[in-house]
Structure 1
Amino acid sequence: MMDETDKRLLAALQANAHLTAQELGEMLNLSSSQAGRRRQRLEAEGYIRCYCARLDPGRIGLAVQAFVQVQLGPNAAEQSHSFARLIDTSPEVTSAWTLTGDADYLLRVWCEDLGALNRLIHDRLLPHPAVARVQSQIVMDQFKQDAPLPT
């Protein structure tokens, strides 16, 4: 079970995953060993899945972010695994969700330019036998960055 201290620890780590046990202890009014043990327990129990770095897309040459909705055809069930593999192996696709409603999938993609987005859609997504329709929305500006989960 998580208590309020665990929730505060998780919130602190989402803001800065580099916090040491000493720093966490000071923030949570715990000894550094208590804070370290809590972090280890939360990691072992799966509350913390990984630690990662957030890169600046523009600095690494990614200028276009888009959301791509994919609607599968009526007989796509037998190709759904193949389509999932295509999405999983496409580095431009940074997130993918299955949905209710008109679209079956929502893909978040990052590309170096509009030509690369066009190639992803027209050369890889649309030719797949399971795909009936693709609709994309290009992100003009992201006014709220990916935020930490509420704890």
Structure 2
Amino acid sequence: MAKDHSLQIDETDLKILKILQEDAKMGVKKIAKQVGKGISTIHARIKSMEQKKIITKYSAILDPTLLNRSIAAFIFIGLSTKVSGKKGVLSQKEFCKEIAQHPYIQGVYLLSGEFDVVLKVRAKSVDEMRGFIVDYLREMPSIERTQTTFVLEEYLETLELKDLER
């Protein structure tokens, strides 16, 4: 039976997390006021959630279209069924770790089903994306096949967990 690895957190922690998801730059004093707890309590709870890895990172969300990264695609990858370690063929885990280092990659997900991995990729142009797929991906010995789906329009992209509950 699979274990539940989720941590038990209370309503105060949930309120803090919701606030930080909306504005990670908000100061402890302001969070304390919104939550209705003391500054030292809020500070201690945030530190505790960081230590428990509930909060793993604070980050700015950038608009890729304003930074000349308007081409987005999901690339589905079928990995080689050959034995890993032979002639440059990597295991699924090794492949995911290696591909995650490429600067165009925004997400790497191991899948079940027809494909083994899906990548979320951003590029400056269709030609740059083509180069990434044809000149980089298809030259990797671990990859047997790819299927690319270009994003035409984004309606939602978030890292926020909207349904946080106890």
Q: State the TM-score, normalizing by the size of structure 2.
A: 0.85
The corresponding residue for 2:34 is 27
**Counterpart amino acid of 1:66?**
A
CA distance in 2: counterparts of 1:76 and 1:66, whole angstroms: 29
Write the letter of the residue equivalent to 1:71: G
What is the percent sequence identity of the aligned residues? 24
Maintained 8 Å contact 1:9/1:28: yes
The residue aligned with 1:45 is 52
> Bigger CA drift: 16-25 or 78-87?
78-87
Q: Give TM-score, length-normalised by structure 1.
A: 0.93
- The CA distance in 1 between the partners of 2:158 and 2:48, in whole Å, is 26
* Letter of the structure 2 residue corresponding to residue 93 of structure 1: I
Moved more, 13-22 or 32-41: 32-41
Q: Are 1:65 and 2:72 counterparts?
A: yes
Q: Cα distance, 1:41 vs. partner? A: 1.2
CA-to-aligned-CA distance 1:51-88 (integer Å, 9 cap, x gap): 01111101111010100000012215332256335412
Q: In 2, are the aligned partners of 1:21 and 1:32 still within 8 Å (CA)? A: yes
The runs of at least 4 aligned residues of structure 1 exceeding 4 Å deviation read none
* TM-superposed deviation, 1:49: 0.5
**Which has a greater percent of helix?**
1
Note the residue ranges of structure 2 that are not aligned, 5 or more in a row: 1-7
- Count, aligned residues: 151
- The residue number in structure 2 matching 1:4 is 11
Distance in 1 of aligned mates of 2:153 and 2:114 = 25
Structure 1's unaligned 5+ residue stretches are none
Segment drifting more, 4-13 vs 141-150: 141-150
